[in-house]
Structure 1
Amino acid sequence: MSFGLPSLKVKPENACNIKSQEGPFGIPDPMVAGIAATKPKISTSHPIETSERNYHLNEEKMNMAMLRNIQGLHAPLKLTMEMKFANKVGRLPFLPSSNLQHDVLTGRYLDIGFEDILNTPDVCEIAGQPHAMVERSLGIL
């Protein structure tokens, strides 16, 4: 009995099938399409690679569907609204942001990933002048 509700099992919506111009040897011409365009043709990818790329999105969709089935439509709407407001919190362009509120709402604050160890602001390669960065974000420069 489904009661017309969507399945909790997340299915990929569409596959990325991008056609590029192929050169004389059956691979894209790197001078036209760029060197990065030849990689998908040359190397083989694992079937789980697309699933892992969209892991957080699929997990969020599944959690929202489960929340809607359990608590009703108001719960995912409220959570979506809170996440939208958490994404709108702005800082000056030269100040690093931890996005802690968004991480808490999505549950990612519990995960330790690559970006938590090697992407810290104190080892950031990009450090600009604060006035120039603010002017650039405002479109003055």
Structure 2
Amino acid sequence: MSFGLPPLKVKPEHVSNIKPQEGPFGVPSPLVAGLAATKSKLGMSHPIEISERNYHLNQEKMNMAMLRNIQGLHAPLKLTMEMKFTSKVGHLPFLQRSNFQHDVLTAKHLDFGFEDILNTPELCEVAGQPHAVVERSLGIL
């Protein structure tokens, strides 16, 4: 009985025989196709890569299934509705957005990640003249 939980054993989404273009020595030539083109033709680098890419989604599904089994159908529906509403909360373009309410609902405020410590300046929102920023977002300026 799975209760709608994702499987614990990692299974690849697709199985295919990938044959990259080989050079004279049996190795793909990065000078001909480029490094990015060669990597995209090689496929997955590790079997757990897909599982790690979908980690937060799988964790949310398991938490919702467990919540449904313990408290009933209303609890995951209420949480899903609250998360949907928190994602639609607007803010003025010149103010920084923290998504703290959404982080509390998903318990991400308890985790420390790279984005908390190694946040680069180009990823941060920059405060400017409030009137100019709003007019530009509205297409007036």
Which of the residues 4, 9, 14 maps onto 2:6?
9
Structure 1: give runs of 5+ residues left out of the alignment: none
SS of residue paired to 1:109 = helix
Offset of residue 132 of structure 1: 4.1
Query: Match for residue 73 of structure 2?
Result: 73
Offset of residue 134 of structure 1: 2.4
Offset of residue 36 of structure 1: 4.5
Offset of residue 72 of structure 1: 1.2
Report runs of 4+ in structure 1 exceeding 6 Å deviation. Answer: 22-28
Decide whether the 8 Å contact of 2:6 with 2:58 is kept in 1: no
Change (3 A) 1:36 1:103: farther
Offset of residue 65 of structure 1: 1.1
Query: Match for residue 52 of structure 1?
Result: 52
2:91 pairs with 1:63: no
Q: Give the aligned residue type for 1:6.
A: F
2:95 pairs with 1:98: no
Offset of residue 83 of structure 1: 0.5
Query: Match for residue 127 of structure 1?
Result: 126
Name the CA distance, whole Å, in 2 between partners of 1:134 and 1:37: 41
Structure 2: give runs of 5+ residues left out of the alignment: none
Structure 2 length as normaliser, TM-score? Answer: 0.68
SS of residue paired to 1:58 = helix
Decide whether the 8 Å contact of 2:86 with 2:101 is kept in 1: yes
Change (3 A) 1:102 1:48: same
Name the CA distance, whole Å, in 2 between partners of 1:53 and 1:69: 26
Decide whether the 8 Å contact of 1:10 with 1:61 is kept in 2: no
Name the CA distance, whole Å, in 2 between partners of 1:106 and 1:136: 33
Equivalent pairs, count: 127
Decide whether the 8 Å contact of 1:93 with 1:133 is kept in 2: yes
Higher CA-based Rg: 2
Offset of residue 127 of structure 1: 3.0
Name the CA distance, whole Å, in 2 between partners of 1:96 and 1:16: 41
Decide whether the 8 Å contact of 1:67 with 1:75 is kept in 2: yes
Structure 1 length as normaliser, TM-score? Answer: 0.68
